[in-house]
Amino acid sequence: MNYTHILTDFMIKQFDVKKLEEIVKAFLELVETATLILDDKDYYIRITPTYEVELVGKSSVRNTCSKIETFMIYEYDSKDKLRDLIVKYPSALEKLTKEEKELFIRCFINKEKKTYIQESMILHQYQYDRLKKSAIIKFCVFLGLDKYINNF
């Protein structure tokens, strides 16, 4: 594995990676929701008078599962903003190294088990952890998601 483009331990320690990981999961849920919204012309976001997020349309109403997801949907409440979000998502993946990208996709998108990923990518525990943290940080920083860290 090529470690030249993976963040150093010193750089990784500058971030709250656990919170960033929660943000990544919420972001991916948001992308999935945004895709549904944009694919269905009668499906839209509505903010209630009590500032709750409702997704309304022909499709069944989708409940938001976390404060950060609700906040991010509120921030991206127009279809143009949602389109921009979906367009930036693949760009963020392309900024990762080959190994980071593979791990990120297998871990967060395919939701494969950690041990299976480690065995198939031939990674020791330390290598896996460092690679995952590096991928999370780079992904969040590229998309500007790190600014949401204090919102929950």
pLDDT per residue as tens digits for the range 59-106: 444 455 566 566 566 655 566 677 777 778 888 888 999 999 999 999
Q: Is 47 helix (H, G, I), strand (E, B) or coil?
A: strand
Res 59: pLDDT:
43
Q: Residue 135 above 90 pLDDT?
A: yes
Helix (H) or strand (E) holding 30: helix 17-39
pTM for this predicted structure:
0.73
**For residue 128, which of 114, 139, 111, 110 has the smallest C-alpha distance?**
114
Q: Residue 5 above 70 pLDDT?
A: yes
